[in-house]
Amino acid sequence: MTSGSRIAIFGATSDIAAAYARRSAEGKARLALFARDAAALDALKADLVVRGAAEVQTFAADFTDFSALPGLARTALTALGGLDVALVAYGSLPDQKTLNTDPAALRAALDLNFTSPAMLANLLAEGLEPARAGAIAVITSVAGDRGRQSNYGYGAAKGGLQTFLDGLRHRLAPAGVHVLDIRPGFVATKMTAHLPQGGPLWAMPDKVATDIAGALRKRSAVLYTPWFWWGIMTIIRAVPRAVFHRTKL
Amino acid sequence: MSARATPYASWGGVLRAPHIACRPATRAAAAEVLCGGGTMVLHGNGRSYGDVALNPGGGLMDITALDRFIAFDPDTGLLTCEAGVKLSDILEVLSRPQADGGGWLLPVMPGTRFITVAGAIANDVHGKNAHHLGSFGNHVEQVELVRSDGSRLTCSRTEHPDLFAATLGGLGLTGLILSATLRLRRVPGLGIESEDIRFGHLDDFFRLDAESADHWEYTAAWVDCLASGAALGRGIYSRGRHVPGVACDPPARAPRLSVPLTPPLSAVNGLSVRAFNALYWRKLGGAGRRLSIGSYGPSFFPLDAIGQWPRLYGPRGFYQFQAVVPHADGPAVTRELLKTIAASRQGSMLVVLKRFGTVEPEGLLSFPMPGISLALDFPNRGEATLRLLGRLESLVMEAGGRIYPAKDSCMRAESFAQGYPALDAFRAFIDPALTSAFARRVGILKEFPA
């Protein structure tokens, strides 16, 4: 992260995004933060200023309001006089059992985890493509790698987003705009606080944020974080369906 | 706020138990948990050696997610931050050398930087410069305290001063600290000049200490706890002071090395301690002294070099003992303590001898007082270790000393009451929603006799 980088973060108060914002602030970045909870945004801003951010602007945003997305993208592209990195980090982890019986809940989960970030990524691309610079980093999930009975609603949204980013990357390659698909495994955050955290598979948000900074520097296409999830998901994708159906995954 | 059964352990590893734990993400959520009914212990980064931050089988609020900075004034050095911010984060973010090599520094740094601000306040921790600058609480300007009756108070030397004094060193029993304002200190050089001097006998320690007190801000000594007879109390005296114009970067945010798993038996045993102590005492070579200039990290935070180091003590863990005895009988009692430890052959490599000065701590239950402080680890060998700790406790109490709650696992209630005469006054400030295994064991909470 070079000093003075211009970074926009959507869903900035999520634990992974906040950890990335802190890292960036300590590297003297300029930040535009978007999130739903204005009080949490204010607390984050104060923290980032003490940590050394050269500039912090905050914007309350409802990512489920599709009509507002073009405005958010425009703000992100202009507030800092250009944009080096856009991190799209919002999402929700719905309960699959609820999604199984509640179509409205399924639709809301798909809207927030797929439709909204896909639209936003495309809107950001519109601005970055002519500038022929910048990076769009989007947090998907290892859950998008294969549909599993325990969370295929969330997994489908994230899997769809992975495919969307694959295509967007293809489109933006000639312009030199970097598209990063971030696939975390289990991360100890507010979103997973209802699950029994701990054990070797669980990572802390700081670790994921460090990996994100590294992948942006290296211009990676896909980041599994922590790295061992690449191996785990390769195996899970390879398990024959007949065997897979006998698991509770 | 969801609570779930989660294991929490003392840093020494002797006590490990499930707690009904929750980890609120914001100050508002934490206040809600405190006021939501039920009793709980407040838990920071888990570096207390004994049971001050444990409540086995009961409620526990983990404050480590309250880790935001709130404001820093680069003109005055006043820092306001949430309760769970770690000292390592403060150093990393704010102790950066400025153009002249100087910079802002925590006025008091204990032996580990991986503790929370609230933990440092609740235990009123001290560092190697205790004889010059007192303890952590002396540098706290104010705390934002929430109590289970719903009140949210700003406590300082002018607002609610009594509650403020009870909260400094108050073992997390007077309310939940949400945030605190600390006065950082501007030093003319962040780097330090440090000198290690080998000494052959306890008397030499007192001589070196007397000669160093005025001109060396940071002092402490390592002692070979196996040496006896003519060599009783031999060790290495370390003294340090800031050098104007010498810059140094903050120490790393996490240890580079870590002990990955617990060996089945303690790696700290008679043989390894004897070998270590023999080598360490000779580390300064023929000259017997060494002067160096550089970072304060290695000498201030020796315990932070290796992550998860208590694992070296094996699955049974270890006890830590730290006590202070008044100056009058200091040399005699220290000699008696070291004799008892040497005879028991139970000590470990980690032994620190240090003089506390006359800066009055402000907390009702603060540990530091003028005198000589001795701290050391004992591998947990069951009854034999407890008997030894009991003997040390008796020696300290006879000398009018006191034992440090943050390190303690077995002090008797009478000893606590004798060592902390303000206990009765303190009880008036206890928040009924707060508890700890320590507070019940030593009778701070009367309704739960030990």
Q: List domains and CATH numbers for chain B.
A: 192-410 (3.30.70.2520)
Put simply, the answer to whether B2 touches A193 (Cβ < 8 Å) is: yes
**B350 with B393: CB under 8 angstroms?**
no
Give the CA distances from residue A57 to residues A3, A6, A9, B335, in Å, rounded to whole numbers and listed in that order. 17, 11, 11, 62
- Tens-digit pLDDT profile for residues B269-298: 888 888 888 888 888 888 889 999 999 988
Whole-complex ipTM: 0.91
Asked if residue A226 has a cis previous peptide bond (ω within 30° of 0), the answer is yes
Under 8 Å CB pairs connecting chains A and B tally to 32
- Tens-digit pLDDT profile for residues A202-246: 999 999 999 999 999 999 999 999 999 999 999 999 999 999 999
| Residue range(s) defining the domain that contains residue A198 | 6-244
Instruction: Tell me the pLDDT band of B1, cut-offs 50, 70 and 90.
Output: low
Query: The domain spanning residue A203 has which CATH number?
Result: 3.40.50.720
Please give the angle made by the CA atoms of B344, B349 and B108, to the nearest 5 degrees: 120
Which stretches of chain B sit within 8 Å of chain A by CB? 2, 4, 6, 23, 25-26, 28, 68-72, 79, 81, 92-94
- Residue B153's DSSP bridge partners are B145
Put simply, the answer to whether B93 touches A26 (Cβ < 8 Å) is: yes
Give the pLDDT mean for B179-189: 97
For residue B450, what pLDDT is reported?
40
**Residues of chain B positioned with their CB less than 8 A from the CB of A188:** none
- Tens-digit pLDDT profile for residues A91-114: 999 999 999 999 999 999 999 999
Give the CA distances from residue B346 to residues B11, B225, B341, B378, B393, in Å, rounded to whole numbers and listed in that order. 19, 9, 7, 6, 16
Most confident of B194-203, B306-315, B441-450: B194-203
Tell which of B2, B4, B32, B68 to mutate to test the A interface (max A CBs under 10 Å): B68
Instruction: Tell me the pLDDT band of A3, cut-offs 50, 70 and 90.
Output: low
- Tens-digit pLDDT profile for residues B22-32: 999 999 999 99
Q: In angstroms, what separates the C-alpha of B3 from chain A's closest C-alpha?
A: 9
Query: Has residue A127 been placed in a domain?
Result: yes
Put simply, the answer to whether B92 touches A43 (Cβ < 8 Å) is: no
For residue A2, what pLDDT is reported?
54
User: Strand B192-199 and strand B235-242: pairing?
Assistant: antiparallel
Q: In angstroms, what separates the C-alpha of B79 from chain A's closest C-alpha?
A: 9
For residue A170, what pLDDT is reported?
98
Q: In angstroms, what separates the C-alpha of A229 from chain B's closest C-alpha?
A: 21
For residue B303, what pLDDT is reported?
81
Of B26, B28, B69, the CB nearest to A46: B69
Nearest-angstrom CA–CA distance, B428 and B170: 12
Q: In angstroms, what separates the C-alpha of A24 from chain B's closest C-alpha?
A: 12
Of B4, B23, B26, the CB nearest to A196: B4
Q: In angstroms, what separates the C-alpha of A98 from chain B's closest C-alpha?
A: 19
Query: Has residue A173 been placed in a domain?
Result: yes
**B265 with B314: CB under 8 angstroms?**
yes
Query: Has residue A192 been placed in a domain?
Result: yes
**Looking at this protein, which amino acid is placed at residue B177?**
I
pLDDT reading at B446 higher than 90: no
**Residues of chain B positioned with their CB less than 8 A from the CB of A40:** 26
Put simply, the answer to whether A52 touches B71 (Cβ < 8 Å) is: no
Instruction: Tell me the pLDDT band of B449, cut-offs 50, 70 and 90.
Output: very low
Q: B125 versus B213: which is more confidently predicted? A: B125
Instruction: Tell me the pLDDT band of B9, cut-offs 50, 70 and 90.
Output: very high
pLDDT reading at A1 higher than 60: no
- Residue A225's DSSP bridge partners are A184
Query: Has residue A41 been placed in a domain?
Result: yes
**How many structural domains is chain A composed of?**
1
Nearest-angstrom CA–CA distance, B115 and B91: 12
Average pLDDT, chain B: 94
pLDDT reading at B215 higher than 90: yes
Tell which of A37, A50, A195, A202 to mutate to test the B interface (max B CBs under 10 Å): A50
- Residue A138's DSSP bridge partners are A88, A181
User: To the nearest whole percent, how much of chain B has pLDDT over 70?
Assistant: 99
User: To the nearest whole percent, how much of chain B has pLDDT over 90?
Assistant: 81
Of B25, B26, B93, the CB nearest to A51: B93
For residue B80, what pLDDT is reported?
98
Task: Please name the residue of chain A whose CA is at the shortest distance from the CA of residue B72.
Answer: A50
Paired tokens of B40: 């709980």
Give, for A156, the enclosing helix (H) or strand (E). Answer: helix A152-172
Give the pLDDT mean for A131-159: 97
HEC secondary structure over A161-185: HHHHHHHHHHHHHHHCCEEEEEEEC
**Looking at this protein, which amino acid is placed at residue B24?**
P
Put simply, the answer to whether B70 touches A50 (Cβ < 8 Å) is: yes
Put simply, the answer to whether A26 touches B92 (Cβ < 8 Å) is: yes
Q: In angstroms, what separates the C-alpha of A48 from chain B's closest C-alpha?
A: 8
Give the pLDDT mean for B136-165: 98
Tell which of B69, B78, B91, B182 to mutate to test the A interface (max A CBs under 10 Å): B69
Q: How many other β-carbons are positioned within 10 Å of the β-carbon of residue B221?
A: 24
Q: B271 versus B206: which is more confidently predicted? A: B206
Query: Has residue A195 been placed in a domain?
Result: yes
Query: Has residue A1 been placed in a domain?
Result: no
Query: Has residue A249 been placed in a domain?
Result: no
Task: Please name the residue of chain B whose CA is at the shortest distance from the CA of residue A47.
Answer: B69
Helix (H, G, I), strand (E, B) or coil at A57: strand
Put simply, the answer to whether B6 touches A47 (Cβ < 8 Å) is: no
Of A40, A50, A194, the CB nearest to B69: A50
**Residues of chain A positioned with their CB less than 8 A from the CB of B68:** 43-44, 46-47
Average pLDDT, chain A: 95
Put simply, the answer to whether B81 touches A50 (Cβ < 8 Å) is: yes
Task: Please name the residue of chain A whose CA is at the shortest distance from the CA of residue B26.
Answer: A40
Give me the DSSP letters along B312-358.
GG-TT-EEEEEEEE-STTHHHHHHHHHHHHHHHT---S-EEEEEE-S
**Residues of chain B positioned with their CB less than 8 A from the CB of A23:** none
Which stretches of chain A sit within 8 Å of chain B by CB? 26, 39-40, 43-44, 46-47, 50-52, 190, 193-194, 196, 198
- Tens-digit pLDDT profile for residues A12-62: 999 999 999 999 999 999 999 999 999 999 999 999 999 999 999 999 999
Query: Has residue A27 been placed in a domain?
Result: yes
The number of CA neighbours under 13 Å toward the Cβ of B160 is 19
Put simply, the answer to whether B68 touches A43 (Cβ < 8 Å) is: yes
Nearest-angstrom CA–CA distance, A79 and A8: 9
User: Strand B192-199 and strand B289-294: pairing?
Assistant: antiparallel
Instruction: Tell me the pLDDT band of B10, cut-offs 50, 70 and 90.
Output: very high
